[in-house]
Structure 1
C-alpha cells in the first residue's frame, strides 16, 4: 500500500518541473505550487467542481469511469465559456490508499485530460469519504468569453447532443445495469465535455451554459442573467437514445427537462447564425437542435414545469 506522496508521484504527476513548453507549464507537480504561463491577450477561465460518493456518483462505480467523469464535468464549465482547456488541479479524498483503484482512476482521468490537451499541474490526496475536487483552467481571447447574460429576445434556443441521458443512466444503474457499453449508463458515468463545441460557439452564440442541473434550472439562470423569457417546444427536445424505452415517454421528457448530469451546452443564437452554427458543429460530429426561442416576457412558456425543476444541493435530487 502506498502513502500520499507515493500515490501522487506514481499516478498523478504527469507534468514535470522544467522550462515552459507548449503546455505553458514552467513548474508542475512537485513543489508547493505550480507555475503556468497564460497566452498573451487571453483571459484565464477558472472553475471548480466537487463530486462526493453517494451524492454525485454511486458507490461501486468503476474507478476509471469516476476519473473520466470528474474531469469531464469540470471541463463542461470551460466549454460553456468558450474556453480552450489548459491546466487542472485535483484534490482526491480516499478511504484507503488502494493502488489498483487509483491506477484505474488515473487512467480515466488522464485520458480525458489528454483528449482535451489539458495538463494536471498539482493537487492533493487525503484520507476520508471518497470525494474528488477538480479545478480546471482555460483561456479565451480577451473579451470573447461566452456568458449567461448575453441572451436577447428573438434569439433561438438550442442544445448540443441529447438530453435526459444522465437521469436515464442513473435509473439504469439503480436498476442493476453495470455494462459500461449500455448507452444510458455510458452517458451518466462517461459524459462528453463539449469543449470543442464551446470554442466553435464563441463569436456565434450570444449566451451559453452547460446543462448540469437540468435544462429548466440552467435555462432559468440564463433568463435571470439576461432579463428575458423563453418559449420551449417539448416535442423538439432531443432525447437520449433508449431514454423513452427505459423510462416511458412522459418520464423521458421530464428527465430531459429536469434530470441534469447531461453536460450538453444550451445556447442562445441570433436566427441568422443558426444554420452556420449547426454546420460547424456537425463537422465535429455534434448535433445542434433548436428547442425554442427567447422573448421579452419573463418566465418559461410552452412546457409544464414540474415541481422539481432541477438539482439543488440540500434540497434533495437524483444525482
Structure 2
C-alpha cells in the first residue's frame, strides 16, 4: 500500500526500510509487537535510551545516514560506559509530514553500516508522524558481566579519574558549524577543522573499552553534556567532590590549537556536550593495569584528576582555580 506522493504506508515503510535490519531471530522480522533477547549466562542485561531532535542535537540538513548513526552511537556509548556489549536496539522515528523516501533510504543505510560495525540487530520500534521537527529515539540493549556494570554511585575519595579519547572536539565542531570564521581565529589547518566538524557529526562509542571498564571502574558514565558537568553528576551521585587538573585534560591537535589562541575555547571544550567519551573512577592500585589493558584494547585513557571528600567539581591549573562559566549543556 502507498500513501501520499507514492510513499509507502506505515506497514509498507516498515517492510521496505526496516525489516532488512531485523537480522536477529528475536526480532521475528518485525512481524510481531515485541521482540525477545536471548538470555546470556553470567551476564546482566543493560538498557539505555536516548533521543535526538533536529535543531537540538543535529542540523536538519545533516546527511540522513549520519543522523541515524549518531542516534545509535550515543546509545552505544552509554552501554560502553556500563561495561556492556550491544545485543540489539529499538528505534522510534517521528517523521515530519514532508519526509521523502530517498531520505529514509539514506537513514536506514546508516543504521545498516553501524549494525555491521558493532555487531547488533534492530529488534523493533515505532514510526509516527509529527508536525514538529524530526526526532529519533533509540533504546539499546547490551550484556555486561553479572554484577560488574559500574554505576555512578561507586566512586570514593582518593580514587583517580580517567577519561577516554580527547575532550571538547565535538563542542568546538558545533561552534564552527555555527560560525565558520572561528576557523581563522583559531588558526586551524583544513584537516584540523574537519576533525572538529566530524567529531560533532559522528561520535565514536568506546565499545572496545567496555570489558576494561567492567573489570576496573568503580563508577562510570559517558560524557555527553560536558566533562565538568557530567563529572559533577557522578560526584553528586557518589556524595564526593572532584578536582580536575586542567593541564592533563586530553585535547586533540585541533582543540589544542584552538584553545591556545582563544581562552574561551578551552571553557567550551570542558563544558560543551557531545564528547561521548567515557569517564571512570579507578582505585589507585588498579591504575597501572587499567591503563595497560585500555592501551591493549586500542583506546587512549588519561588520568585527569582525583576524587576528594566534600562536594562539587573544581578545575585547577598549577594549583590555581580555573573559571569556566556554565558547567555543562542542559536541555532546560
Question: TM above 0.5, one fold?
Answer: yes
- Paired residue secondary structure (1:86): strand
Structure 1: which 5+ residue stretches go unaligned? 18-22, 315-319
Q: Deviations over 1:207-235 (max 9, x none)?
A: 11100011111101111111211111001
**Cα distance change, pair 216–296 in 1 and its aligned pair in 2 (3 A):** same
- Provide the residue aligned with 2:153 in structure 1: 149
Distance in 2 between residues matched to 1:33 and 1:180, nearest whole Å: 45
Structure 2: which 5+ residue stretches go unaligned? 1-6, 184-189
More helix by share: 2
Distance in 2 between residues matched to 1:234 and 1:216, nearest whole Å: 11
- Provide the residue aligned with 1:209 in structure 2: 221
TM-score (normalised: structure 2): 0.87
Distance in 1 between residues matched to 2:29 and 2:191, nearest whole Å: 37
Distance in 1 between residues matched to 2:137 and 2:27, nearest whole Å: 23
- Provide the residue aligned with 2:14 in structure 1: 8
C-alpha contact (below 8 Å) 2:192/2:254 kept by paired residues: no
Tell me the CA shift for residue 28 of structure 1.
4.4
Establish whether residue 234 from structure 1 lines up as the match of residue 252 from structure 2.
Answer: no
**Cα distance change, pair 8–242 in 1 and its aligned pair in 2 (3 A):** same
Judge which range, 4-13 or 211-220, deviates more.
Answer: 4-13
Q: Deviations over 1:221-272 (max 9, x none)?
A: 1111112111110011111331244464422321221001000001111122
Q: Deviations over 1:15-57 (max 9, x none)?
A: 558xxxxx56263412111122121332211111111101111
User: Structure 1 residue aligned with 2:313, among 293, 296, 300?
Assistant: 300
- Provide the residue aligned with 1:76 in structure 2: 77
- Provide the residue aligned with 2:277 in structure 1: 264
- Provide the residue aligned with 1:114 in structure 2: 116
Distance in 2 between residues matched to 1:200 and 1:100, nearest whole Å: 41
C-alpha contact (below 8 Å) 1:155/1:294 kept by paired residues: yes
Tell me the CA shift for residue 179 of structure 1.
9.8
Judge which range, 73-82 or 305-314, deviates more.
Answer: 305-314
Q: CA RMSD in A?
A: 2.2
Aligned length: 309
- Provide the residue aligned with 1:64 in structure 2: 65
**Cα distance change, pair 26–8 in 1 and its aligned pair in 2 (3 A):** closer
- Provide the residue aligned with 1:274 in structure 2: 287
Q: Deviations over 1:261-297 (max 9, x none)?
A: 0000011111222222222222232110111111113
